[in-house]
Structure 1
Amino acid sequence: MSECQHVADLPRPEISPLNETCLGCLESGSHHVQLRLCLVCGHVGCCDSSQHRHASQHFRDTGHPVMRTFEEGETWRWCFVDGSIV
């Protein structure tokens, strides 16, 4: 994994999640496949394999560039701007 400028600009220490699940999915009555955590503000959204893709929508709405998996045992991060794992 390589570092990108967006990772370097993230808050330190890592931000805490605002929720334990995707509130957008709860509100719409749908179910998530996996969860993602915004590393700028702590928003929890569903992945792009989920019906509504709330994590990607959060990026489009806010411009927050980096999220990480919010799945137990996984640690990878994704930069929406660079389109790569970081």
Structure 2
Amino acid sequence: MERTITPPCLIPPLRLRDGTGLTEIASLDEALVFAETHPLPKGDYEGLIRRLQAARETEDVIEAGNAFKWWAESNAILVEPGLPE
């Protein structure tokens, strides 16, 4: 039986403002694509990209997810659940 690898997930998924609306980010792969296409100035952007690219072990996945959320908060694009969009 062949096993498939599931990309690490962000639980719960994050909702971000992307300039034209909202985008839901549910995995580190999606977070990496979003960050690469939206290189915003606040936070350690280069460190964030490295963390997202290298996350394999559980601790690294958690750290990368937290770094992405912090970066989104720093750039005021994170929409918290229950808050107006």
Shorter-chain TM band: under 0.3
Report the TM-score, using the length of structure 1 for normalisation.
0.28
More helix by share: 2
Instruction: Specify the structure having the higher radius of gyration (Cα).
Output: 2
| Larger RCO of the pair (alpha carbons < 8 Å, separation 6+) | 2
